[in-house]
Amino acid sequence: MTEPITERPDLPVAPTEPPADEIGKKQRRPRSGWVDAWYELRRSPVFWVSAVLILLFFAMAVVPQLFTSVDPTYADLSKARQKPSAEHWFGMDGQGADVYARTIYGARASILVGAGTALVTLIFGGFMGVMAAYFGGWLDAVLQRTGEIFMAFPLLLGGLLILYQFPADPDDPYALQVARIILILSAFGWPVTARIMRSSVMQVLPNDYIQSARALGGGGFRIIFSHVVPNAIAASIVVSTINLGVYMGVEATLSYLAIGFQPPVISWGVAISDASGIGLIRAAPHMLLFPSLFLSVAVLAFIMLGDAVRDALDPRLR
């Protein structure tokens, strides 16, 4: 008779399958900081309100035909300074043009200047800040002193001086007028981004993964674009988002002073300037009200978006 088969304690026992929840925990990867930030943004009412407003303004800038079919350049002097009505929601301006159509089309120039200046300052200023922090030495000193020279002039004052010395020609193409204002504002706006980026890079450089990349023979620019910039750019993005609204306000101020955009370019600043003539504020307040309201809401939307992004990217503020 054969003996019954029994388990021997000295033999290894086949491992049993772990519970399903433990398998899920092992397979679940840790979330990155950007994923956590997006998770926080989705829970923020401020983010959704500002994002909807910004998408609306960008739609006005890209496809204004979705909002109005009226030609903003068409004017009828017989309807000059007419008050808002069912036919003309925002009334008519001093030349008899539809204020609603000009307000919708004015979003393009204002947002182009704000977004373009924010992008240029982020790229150029961020690059200068990275170079100064990573290589240090004499390059850091030169870039720091150069930035301080431009920072000595406030943004509005610097733009005012340059545009006053080199006034725009009304016959200049639309793209040239936009690019001109973007470059002038970027020249005085990049040092702020450069300083913020330099401080962020200085905090990233001592980390272990940077030292490991150097020990493995990684080149300077490879380390910069693969490890340094992705981990140091968050603060600069927040500042650029907030400054986008500031640049729109500066453009409107320069156009109000008649040294920014020149007619026939349509922008909110030009509309505010046209509505501020002697007697027009009292006779036709709607000419000033609606462009000013749209500009204020757009600037506020970008500032709110920047605050929401800052709160999401900084764990200490959660």
Shortest CA distance to 255 belongs to which of 232, 231, 275? Answer: 275
- In the predicted structure, residue 9 carries a pLDDT above the cut 70: no
The whole domain housing 95 covers: 39-70+88-317
Using 50, 70 and 90 to split pLDDT, how confident is the model at 205? confident
- In the predicted structure, residue 135 carries a pLDDT above the cut 50: yes
Shortest CA distance to 154 belongs to which of 236, 250, 259? Answer: 250
Greatest mean pLDDT among 20-34, 47-61, 301-315 lies in: 47-61
CATH code for the domain of 303 = 1.10.3720.10
Greatest mean pLDDT among 38-52, 160-174, 243-257 lies in: 243-257
By percentage, how much of the chain surpasses pLDDT 90? 15
Cβ–Cβ under 8 Å, residues 254 and 182: no
- In the predicted structure, residue 138 carries a pLDDT above the cut 80: yes
How many domains is the chain built from? 1
Using 50, 70 and 90 to split pLDDT, how confident is the model at 26? very low
Region 147-152: what's the mean pLDDT? 86
DSSP annotation of 252 reads: H
Sign (positive or negative) of CA dihedral 156, 158, 164, 167: negative
pTM of the complete model = 0.80
Cis status, amide bond into 19, omega within 30 of 0: no
In a domain, 52, yes or no: yes
Region 15-43: what's the mean pLDDT? 60
In a domain, 23, yes or no: no
In a domain, 75, yes or no: no
Residue 55 has a pLDDT of 93
In a domain, 10, yes or no: no
Whole-number Å distance between alpha carbons of 265 and 284: 22
Lowest mean pLDDT among 32-36, 138-142, 276-280: 32-36
To 10 degrees, what angle do helices 99-120 and 174-204 make? 40
Residue 23 has a pLDDT of 47
In a domain, 13, yes or no: no
Lowest mean pLDDT among 25-29, 129-133, 150-154, 186-190: 25-29
Whole-number Å distance between alpha carbons of 118 and 125: 10
Greatest mean pLDDT among 10-14, 173-177, 216-220, 300-304 lies in: 300-304
In a domain, 168, yes or no: yes
In a domain, 299, yes or no: yes
Cβ–Cβ under 8 Å, residues 130 and 224: yes
Q: What is the mean pLDDT of the chain?
A: 81
Whole-number Å distance between alpha carbons of 195 and 148: 10
Cβ–Cβ under 8 Å, residues 269 and 256: yes
